[in-house]
Structure 1
Amino acid sequence: MTIKQAIVQQALTLIKPQMVVGFGGGSTVGELVKEAANHVNDITVVTPSPTTRQLATVLGYTVVDTAYCDRVDIAFDGCDQLDHHGNALKSGGGIHANEKIIASLADEYWLLTMQDRLVDQFDIKTPLVLEVLPAALSLVMRTVSDLGGQATIRTANNRDGFTLTDSGNLLIDCHFPTYAKLTDLNVELATLAGVVETSYFDHLVTNAWLGDATTNTVKALF
């Protein structure tokens, strides 16, 4: 059994029939979606990920939109980094606004990740990502610069132009010289006009399954 499969097996124990379950993006969550279909597929699924939505639909789950869902029993997702207080940076996928909606709806929000992504202090190599209305681009770029950061518009890999979210917004990758006051920095940017959401999850995480590839073991964060 691989360490990813071991993480999935632990997550499976938390899924019960008749639950509304949130599944995020990423390969580990994808494996959980597949495995759950073999054990307890009598669940309703919500997801921020188009890839996960397609997979869940093919597997025969009932998939609903969060616009028509006022509560989620449990949700699973990945992360780029996680600290010991349950805060996380989820910067890679660019779907953090919809991920936060599900996290906020969920009674329990679990991250499935590797032990080496648990940090004492967030690594500045991982950007703080902002989903931004196109009209606010100049305002956001100037504000990030004023706060001592460097902002870059994320570009598309498979075509000429910028990466757009499902809502048609821009993704701005922001690098700062330190994350020592990340909570305050996040609040300042999150409340800026035109910023839809940030990739910093402040006390939204209930718990996490952490896999250690060296020992091939899985443990809970809390």
Structure 2
Amino acid sequence: MSISKFIVQQAISLIKPGMTVGFGGGSTVGLLVKESANLVNQIQVLTPSPTTRQLATVLGYTVIDPQYCDRIDIAFDGCDQLDHRHSALKSGGGIHTNEKIIATLADEYWLLAPKNRLVTQFSTDIPLVLEVLPKALALVMHRVAALGGQPTVRTASNRDGLTLTDNGNLLIDCHFPSYNQLSNINQQLSALAGVVETSFFDHLITNAILGDPDTNTINYLY
């Protein structure tokens, strides 16, 4: 059995009939959605991921929109890295704004990830990603550079042009030489006019289920 299936088995035990459940993106969460199909008529689902929404709809889940929900019992998601202070970096999918809405609505926000993604110091190979209003592009690029970062506007891989989020905004990938002051940098950029959200989930993680593929064992972060 793959380590993802071990992680999913642990996560399924946390889902109870009558719950409102958030499912994020990624392959492990997708597997959790599939494996939870025996609860398809007993829970309602929210998701920030178009891929997960399509899968949940096909499987018969009741999928509701976050704008009509003021509380989620439990939510599951992935990450690029997380630390022992219950913070995480999430950059790849570009849906971090909608993921943060789910995380903030949830009583419990669980990350599902390989054990090696739990770190003592975030890797600067992973950018801090900003979702930005188009009119604020120059302002944000200038401020990131002033803070010592190297900002790059994300371009679309399947067409000529810039990547637009589901909210119609731009994504700026910001590489910094050090993340020693990540929380402070994140606060400054979050407060900047035109920045919708950042991909740093500062103390938003409730728990994590971490799988070790070398030993096929599960660890928890509480």
- Could you tell me the TM-score, scaled by structure 2's length? 0.99
Q: In the alignment, what sits opposite 1:77?
A: 77
1-structure distance, mates of 2:167, 2:39: 34
1-structure distance, mates of 2:14, 2:163: 35
Cα deviation, 1:134-177, whole Å, max 9, x if unaligned, reads: 00000000000111110000011100001100111000000000
User: Secondary structure, in 3 states, of the residue corresponding to 2:203?
Assistant: coil
Cα pair 1:85 1:203 within 8 Å, conserved: yes
Q: In the alignment, what sits opposite 2:25?
A: 25
2-structure distance, mates of 1:100, 1:127: 17
Aligned amino acid, residue 60 of structure 2: G
2-structure distance, mates of 1:40, 1:58: 11
User: Secondary structure, in 3 states, of the residue corresponding to 2:214?
Assistant: coil
Cα pair 1:136 1:194 within 8 Å, conserved: yes
Cα pair 2:109 2:207 within 8 Å, conserved: yes
In the TM superposition, residue 85 of structure 1 has moved relative to its aligned partner by: 1.1
Distance 1:82 1:208, change over 3 A: same
In the TM superposition, residue 77 of structure 1 has moved relative to its aligned partner by: 0.1
Q: In the alignment, what sits opposite 2:107?
A: 107
Q: In the alignment, what sits opposite 1:116?
A: 116
1-structure distance, mates of 2:138, 2:181: 24
1-structure distance, mates of 2:112, 2:151: 29
Aligned amino acid, residue 83 of structure 1: D
- Could you tell me the TM-score, scaled by structure 1's length? 0.99
In structure 1, stretches of 5+ residues that fail to align are none
Cα pair 2:23 2:46 within 8 Å, conserved: yes
2-structure distance, mates of 1:105, 1:9: 24
CA RMSD of aligned residues (A): 0.8
Aligned amino acid, residue 185 of structure 1: I
Residue 3 (str. 1) matches residue 35 (str. 2): no
Aligned amino acid, residue 171 of structure 2: L
- Taking only the aligned residue pairs, the percentage that are identical comes to 72
Q: In the alignment, what sits opposite 1:210?
A: 210
Cα pair 2:91 2:199 within 8 Å, conserved: yes
Residue 62 (str. 1) matches residue 58 (str. 2): no
Q: How does 1:37-186 map to 2 (within 5 A)?
A: 37-39=37-39, 41-186=41-186
Aligned amino acid, residue 112 of structure 1: L
1-structure distance, mates of 2:177, 2:14: 39
Aligned amino acid, residue 156 of structure 2: A
User: Secondary structure, in 3 states, of the residue corresponding to 1:112?
Assistant: strand
Q: In the alignment, what sits opposite 1:199?
A: 199
In structure 2, stretches of 5+ residues that fail to align are none
Aligned amino acid, residue 140 of structure 1: V
In the TM superposition, residue 39 of structure 1 has moved relative to its aligned partner by: 4.8
In the TM superposition, residue 40 of structure 1 has moved relative to its aligned partner by: 5.7
2-structure distance, mates of 1:41, 1:207: 26
1-structure distance, mates of 2:82, 2:189: 20
Cα pair 1:16 1:40 within 8 Å, conserved: no
In the TM superposition, residue 221 of structure 1 has moved relative to its aligned partner by: 1.1
User: Secondary structure, in 3 states, of the residue corresponding to 2:36?
Assistant: helix
In the TM superposition, residue 38 of structure 1 has moved relative to its aligned partner by: 2.9
Tell me how many residue pairs correspond in the alignment: 222
